[in-house]
């Protein structure tokens, strides 16, 4: 069953394929959500991840069933990393158009879900949203060969993400990233590299970078506050190196309040593609996955993902969000 960009995807009976992060399998909120949706008359098939790669494998299974007309919704249940793994696998499988996608936010930060109005405290409401909210088509970014829906971040902030204690994240949620960053701020070391985009080129030392399809990361820190999910563009934000005291002060504001607190210092651009080159590796974070790179190219695939969101505040005026 193909999905048109202008078709109401709600139906009396919906077949849901839920890919659930393993540690959330015993969460009573998840069990109640599945029970409630089944009681509403819908089919919910659940797969639980156990080891690395499971989410992608289950996504491929769901895609195959969707292509056969047996699945209407593929729902990623987990944190930002699980969501990205499911969506990336489906994107690579070329499935979009056979079903639509949803999120059951069960992570620490849940940045993408938070920013798009998906309930993060009520799992039943989140799962039902996937059934009744209109489908909208959003962009997908691709860093080299790795798809993402939210943000690529780099520099000191990504190092903080990689080094934040999981136990602290469990206790403090997204604020754990802020606390770790502030604790490590005096160890701050700038990165150096060259950025190129449409009508834009910049080379120098920087404290942080963000390339946004979405707007926020690190538990609610606004990095690309004007990014839209459906405009075919990526928003680039660079926080350049400053002198030691000014850098520490700016970084503290940045980690606590987001990029809006350094408006007079940051460098921004908007482009459908961005390239980066450096002589040494830097840390980057791709929707929850940390890696070390010295060069990359990011592109934007416009209108690639049909998804059910809680609001349209991150959408432009051309997305057919009122068709469902």
Do the beta carbons of residue 227 and residue 241 sit within 8 Å?
Answer: no
Catalytic residue positions? 289
CA distance 233 to 294: 23
Helix (H), strand (E) at residue 206: strand 200-212
Angle at 229 between CA 228 and CA 234, to 5 degrees: 70
CA distance 55 to 47: 9
Nearest alpha-carbon partner for 46 in 28, 57, 58:
58
Residues 6+ apart with CB under 8 A from 105: 79, 113, 114, 118, 119, 120, 126
Other Cβ atoms less than 10 A from the Cβ of 295: the count is 14
């Amino acid at each position: 069953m193909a999905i048109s960009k202008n078709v109401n995807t709600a139906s009396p009976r919906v077949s849901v394929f839920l890919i659930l992060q393993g540690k959330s399998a015993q969460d009573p909120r998840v069990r109640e959500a599945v029970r409630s949706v089944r009681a509403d008359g819908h089919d919910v098939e659940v797969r639980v991840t156990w080891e690395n790669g499971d989410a992608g494998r289950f996504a491929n299974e769901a895609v195959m069933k969707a292509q056969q007309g047996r699945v209407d919704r593929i729902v990623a249940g987990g944190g930002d990393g699980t969501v990205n793994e499911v969506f990336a696998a489906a994107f690579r499988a070329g499935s979009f158009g056979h079903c639509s996608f949803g999120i059951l936010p069960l992570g620490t930060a849940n940045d993408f879900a938070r920013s798009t109005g998906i309930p993060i405290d009520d799992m039943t409401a989140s799962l039902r949203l996937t059934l009744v909210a209109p489908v909208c088509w959003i962009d997908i970014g691709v860093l080299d060969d790795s798809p993402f829906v939210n943000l690529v971040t780099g520099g000191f902030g990504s190092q903080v993400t990689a080094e934040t204690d999981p136990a602290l994240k469990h206790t403090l949620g997204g604020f754990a990233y802020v606390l770790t960053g502030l604790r490590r701020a005096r160890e701050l070391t700038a990165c150096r590299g060259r950025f190129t985009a449409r009508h834009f080129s910049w080379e120098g030392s920087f404290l942080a970078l963000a390339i946004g399809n979405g707007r926020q990361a690190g538990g609610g820190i606004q990095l690309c506050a004007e990014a839209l999910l459906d405009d075919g563009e990526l928003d680039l934000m660079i926080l350049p190196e400053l002198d030691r005291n000014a850098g520490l002060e700016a970084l503290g504001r940045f980690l606590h309040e987001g990029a809006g607190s350094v408006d007079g210092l940051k460098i921004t651009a908007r482009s459908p593609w961005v390239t980066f080159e450096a002589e040494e590796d830097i840390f980057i974070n791709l929707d929850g996955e940390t890696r070390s790179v010295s060069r990359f190219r990011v592109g934007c695939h416009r209108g690639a993902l049909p998804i059910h969101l809680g609001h349209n505040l991150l959408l432009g005026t051309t997305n057919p969000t009122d068709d469902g």
